[in-house]
Each structure stands twice: as structure tokens, then as C-alpha cells.
Copies of this chain bind each other. A is one copy, B any other.
Amino acid sequence: MFSDEYFMEIALSLAEEAAEAGEIPVGAVVVCRNRIIGKGRNQTEELNDVTAHAEILAITAATQYLGGKYLSDCTLYVTLEPCVMCAGALFWAQIGRLVVGASDPKRGYSRIQPSILHPKTRLETSVLANESQELLTKFFRRLRT
């Protein structure tokens, strides 16, 4: 039951929620022993804060829950490849595993430097990538009309 797709579906529902609020649809969850301990969705417009990306909010929520700064036993699921800022935050959090949906050839951290991530972070990409990409495409198409 607790597959990568299961948790990515939850991240996708957060991304949908973001789209409904007029935000670029990106969602993230932090999972520790099959339990969601942090959630986030893009809120840069609502909070008027460029740092309010889904991953940053999910990391902060998870560390508040744990009462510790590090997430080495946790997995972060995010519907879109993290930007440099978020990859930098994941480095500091020492995230144990990172599962990514769609890749971001324009702003993804890997185009700058894949080694931004912590050397101990295991990486999995392209989980429900099409579903995530579809949400983004739909969002930007609607913006342009």
C-alpha cells in the first residue's frame, strides 16, 4: 500500500490545491516510517514570499513535528524537481531520500549542479511525472488565455 506512487498521489493532491488557489501547482510531503510528518504546497503568491515553496514548507513542518533539524530517516516526495534553493534546503536537512515527479529543465537544481544534494541522499525520479507535468501544463495554459 505505501508505495512511492501512494505518497506522490498525496503530493499531487496538494499541487492541485495550489492550482485552485492560483499558485503554480507543486506539492510536497515528508514521510517517515510510512507516516506523513510534513506537507507543503506552493504558496509564494498567497504568502507573498519567494521562499514559500512546497519543499521548504514541508521540511519546516516535518522538523517542527520531529523536534529535530535533520530528516535523514525521511523521504521527501515532490511533484516537480526542486529548484536550487530547495535542493540547498534538502542538503541542510540531510534528507534520506528524495522522490521527484516531473523534471524541471528550466529551474531544476540538476541543471546547475546535481551535487547540491547531500551525498547521502538517495534519489528517485519520474514518479508519476506525467500526472505532475499535466497539472503544470494545464495551469500555464489557463494563465495564458
- A interface residues with partner B (beta carbon < 8 Å): 44-45, 48-51, 56, 59-60, 63-64, 67-70, 83-89, 91-93, 112-113, 115-116
Contact = CB atoms under 8 A, between A and B. Distances in A.
Contacts of A92: 44, 50-51, 83, 85
B89 A50 contact: yes
Q: How many copies does the complex hold?
A: 2
Interface of chain A, helix or strand or loop or mixed?
helix
Given A84-B84, A84-B116, A85-B89, A60 B49 contact: yes
A43 to B, nearest CB: 11
Which residue of A44, A63, A70, A87 has the most chain B CB atoms within 10 A of its CB atom? A63
11 contacts: A45-B69, A48-B67, A49-B63, A49-B64, A51-B59, A51-B92, A83-B92, A84-B91, A112-B112, A112-B113, A113-B113
